Amino acid sequence: LGLGGSEKLIVEAAVALKAKGHDVKIYTSHYDSKHCFEKTKDLDVQVAGDFLPRSLFGQFHIVFALIRAIWLSFYACFHSGAQVYVTDQIAVYNICLRMLCSQPIVFYCHFPDQLLTQRRSVFKYLYRLPFDCLEELGTGLADSVLVNSKFTASVFRETFRWLGNTRLDVVYPAIGMPSKESIQKRSRDGPC
């Protein structure tokens, strides 16, 4: 759980759900309280699988990301008691959760992972093929799929051709807004 845009979205959603009275837990395979969004310190962040490597000699990142995702999915399923799972980034979570649990799954697709790497050789194409298929399968197993823009929705449709009938809902990322009190204070204090 770092400081990227996808992490911010999950944190903001968790904070909003918690403010509405929901019991929210964030499950992640890595969390560093010194390198995180401040709001995470008020949330229940559960870490599972941080002991697993992220790569082997700087290679096979996707293989280890999937191993960590599978570990985290098992942990969350058997420790959370969740009524709904909200997943993002790695669609393999959805495959594991669908096999292990009966709760609804909401998947937030920031952008198809398979488009984030180049396939300059036949070896790279063949290496990525099973992971690309797992991504499409996992995405299709979600009960609800959210995307961050109409652009991402169009890219989703072009990339995941087998998921043509999947309903996509656009949920734009939250932006930080000043509180009503800080706006009132600024207006009382005058410009700059």
> Is residue 37 over pLDDT 90?
no
Cβ 140 vs Cβ 160: under 8 Å: yes
Cβ-in-10-Å burial (0-12, 13-18, 19+) of 149 comes to middle
Q: Per-residue pLDDT for 106 more than 80?
A: yes
Q: What is the pLDDT of residue 191?
A: 60
- Picking from 159, 154, 103, the residue whose alpha carbon sits closest to that of residue 136 is 159
Rg (CA), the chain: 19
- Which residues span the domain enclosing 144? 5-189
* Residue 64 pLDDT exceeds 90: yes
Q: What is the pTM of this model?
A: 0.80
| pLDDT above 70 as % of the chain | 86
Q: In Å, how far are 24, 27, 96, 148, 182 from 100, measured between CA atoms? A: 20, 16, 6, 28, 46
What is the 8-class DSSP label of residue 56? B
CATH code of the domain in which 132 resides = 3.40.50.2000
The SS3 call for residue 192 is coil
* Res. 4 pLDDT band, cuts 50 70 90: low
d(CA 137, CA 62) in angstroms, rounded, equals 16
Residue-wise pLDDT tens digits, 128-175: 899 999 999 999 999 999 998 999 999 999 999 898 888 998 987 666
As for how many domains the chain has, the answer is: 1
Residue 180 banded pLDDT, cuts 50, 70, 90: low
Are the CB atoms for 107 and 88 separated by under 8 Å?
yes
Q: Check residue 124 and give its pLDDT.
A: 85
Mean per-residue pLDDT of the chain = 85
Q: Are 41 and 14 in contact (CB under 8 A)?
A: no
How far, in Å, CA of 1 to CA of 140, rounded? 24
Helix (H, G, I), strand (E, B) or coil at 144: strand
pLDDT of residue 120: 86
User: Once rounded to an integer, what is the mean pLDDT over residues 88-114?
Assistant: 90
**What is the reported pLDDT for 184?**
65
